[in-house]
Amino acid sequence: MAIVRKILGSLILFFNWLFTPRGIKRSSGAQAAIDKQTGSLTLYQYQACPFCVKVRRAMKRQSLDIETRDVKRSQAAREELLTGGGDLKVPCLRVEDEQGEVSWMYESGDIIGYLEGRFVAG
């Protein structure tokens, strides 16, 4: 079973690499304003998780520079996710607002909806 997961994971990463979306281009001022906002977001994830790939592709399409923390490679990241979010499930987006309030968002569809609602110009 581990070998099947490994092969599937490699295929996901290969096709993700092959069909990497282009990021949108913004003026440097607009991108800097977005970068400032995305500085308070962190995506807990791991490389070959298909739901994480889906979120990372949405980030790439929108040129969102969001820090990622790999819960498979980092024990500290795993503990942060479990303590903060309450569930060792990925992807999970940690959102810190201007008042320093932190919330944890699970579900790839909800995360993508949140990012598109917040950052895609209407």
Ligand X SMILES: N[C@@H](CCC(=O)N[C@@H](CS)C(=O)NCC(=O)O)C(=O)O
Q: Does 57 sit near ligand X (CB under 6 A)?
A: no
Q: Does 85 sit near ligand X (CB under 6 A)?
A: no
Q: Does 107 sit near ligand X (CB under 6 A)?
A: yes
Distance between CA atoms of residues 14 and 71, nearest Å: 21
Phi, psi of 32 (to 5 degrees): -65, -40
Q: What is the b/e burial string over 22-42, where b = at least 16 CB atoms within 10 angstroms of the residue's CB?
A: eeeeeeeeebeebeeebeebb
Write down the residue that tokens 């889906």 correspond to: 54
- Provide, rounded to whole angstroms, the least separation between the CB of residue 46 and ligand X: 7
Q: Which part of the chain contacts ligand X (CB under 6 A), choosing from 35-43, 44-52, 61-69, 93-101? A: 44-52
Q: Does 81 sit near ligand X (CB under 6 A)?
A: no
- Provide, rounded to whole angstroms, the least separation between the CB of residue 84 and ligand X: 15
Q: Does 51 sit near ligand X (CB under 6 A)?
A: yes
- Provide, rounded to whole angstroms, the least separation between the CB of residue 53 and ligand X: 9
